[in-house]
Amino acid sequence: MHADIVVLPGDGIGPEVTAAAVDVLQAVARRYSHRFTLHEHLIGGAAIDATGTPLPDATLAAARDADAVLLGAVGGPKWSDPNAAVRPEQGLLAIRKALGLYANLRPTRPHSAAIGASPIKPHLLAGVDLLVVRELTGGIYFGERTRTETSASDLCSYTVAEIERVVRRACLLARGRRGHVTSVDKANVLETSRLWRDVATRIARDEFPDITLEHQLVDSMAMHLLSKPRAFDVIVTENMFGDILTDEASMLAGSLGLLPSASLGDGSVGMYEPIHGSAPDIAGQGIANPYGTILSAALLLRYSLGLSMEAGCIEQAVDSALEDGVFSADLAAGGDARSTREVTAAVLERIETTC
Ligand code: ATP
Ligand code: MG
């Protein structure tokens, strides 16, 4: 097949890790006789420096026309003045909104070879395979804000339609997995959570009789995620709860650098990025862990291009490299650490030979 993929390297280690993922995508294209045309554009601080805005019109236009978007990371100390008129992160929020990306997917599957890097006890981690689906466009992060001398408020609101679409997406994803969805809310206190629970219950009952739905309160979920992570399959939750729980879940896998994400809407364009940030402390040194971005490229193939076999090939190649101890510095714990390019080369070699 032919696909147009927009690549947004962004800032810090973004260009280093997207270069790795691009090499992997090209290797998959060769291996399976596809043609991926890659279009590189500016976003974040790099875009501010070049054009004065974190999301140039040309970038958004290209993203709208593309089949999928692969993003590195945005931000860094150079642009971090809180009083600055434009900030790199605005580019990210703006592109997510413009593309209508309302579901953020973060799969977490601790790899046996990397389990030692996790602060959680190994016996709790074996066999963990979960997918958090975080609502991305509503809730308290987008509500009206007020501030006076003596008080402040943030409004949390959700519509039925916003809840329906993300719960439906979670249930569909569960169908391709173990058929279990945990909906997380705070329905004992919050009205938005009571609405969330009602809608989730109705969608699962009326449209997904094959799916088992359970409800958890966010506070006990925070505990269960660490004490019995194997009990979960798909977890669906609102924006802020998802923000917090996904960072917590990332610790199950050992390193931020390993984890991919996908942001999906109802349109066909999805955006794929590692969950880590721009890591300014190690930028430019060639030591960043590229696995998270390489695995994001696998999600791109699976969710935007429908190429499951090719996605599986990348995931197998990554598993095999980790199995063989191909560790970047964040995973090596003082042992033998490979550079970004060496890790990438190990994955490329396995794509040629193992799939
Ligand atoms: P953001 O606000 O953009 O999410 P952050 O403040 O959460 O950023 P990161 O940029 O993700 O921070 O970095 C957190 C720490 O993890 C840093 O010490 C960084 O060097 C390390 N880190 C992040 N990503 C990687 C990676 N791919 N490889 C190696 N180390 C990484
Ligand atoms: Mg962060």
Cα–Cα distances in Å, from 330 out to 68, 254, 335?
29, 9, 10
Whole-number Å distance between alpha carbons of 68 and 144: 32
Token couple for 206: 């009326």
Write down the pLDDT at residue 27: 98
The Å distance, Cα 90 to ligand 2 centre, comes to 15
User: Residue 15: pLDDT above 80?
Assistant: yes
User: Which amino acid, 346?
Assistant: A
Kindly state the average pLDDT of the residues 50-78: 98
Q: Do 119-253 and 1-102+266-355 fall under one CATH topology?
A: yes
**Alpha carbon distances (Å) from 299 to 39, 41, 56, 105, 152:** 18, 20, 26, 10, 40
CATH number for region 119-253: 3.40.718.10
Provide the ipTM: 0.94
For 228, list phi and psi in degrees, rounded to 5.
-145, 60
Round the average pLDDT of the chain to a whole number and report it.
95
**Residue 186 annotated as catalytic:** yes
Is 88 marked within a binding site? Answer: yes
pLDDT of residue 121: 83
Instruction: For residue 216, give the 3-state DSSP assignment.
Output: strand
* Band of pLDDT at residue 260, cut at 50, 70 and 90: very high
Give the Cα separation of 30 and 240 in Å (integer): 41
Using the atom order of ligand 1, give the atom closest to the CA of residue 288.
Answer: 28
pLDDT for 28 equals: 98
The structural domains of the chain, with segments of one domain joined by +, span 1-102+266-355, 119-253
Ligand 1 near 18 CB (within 6 A): no
Q: How far is the CA of 75 from the centre of ligand 1 (A)?
A: 11
Calpha distance 158→314 (Å, rounded)? 37
CA of 200 to the centre of ligand 1 (A): 34
Please list, in sequence order, all residues whose beta carbon lies within 8 angstroms of the beta carbon of residue 27, skipping any fewer than 6 positions away.
Answer: 348, 351, 352
Structural element, H or E, at residue 173:
helix 160-175
For ligand 1, pick from 250, 256, 289 the residue to mutate: most ligand atoms within 8 Å of CB.
256
Strand ranges in 160-259 using DSSP code E only, listed in sequence order: 180-185, 212-217, 234-237
Q: Is 288 annotated as a binding residue?
A: yes
Domain 1-102+266-355 has CATH 3.40.718.10: yes
pLDDT in tens, 128-150: 999 999 999 999 999 999 999 99
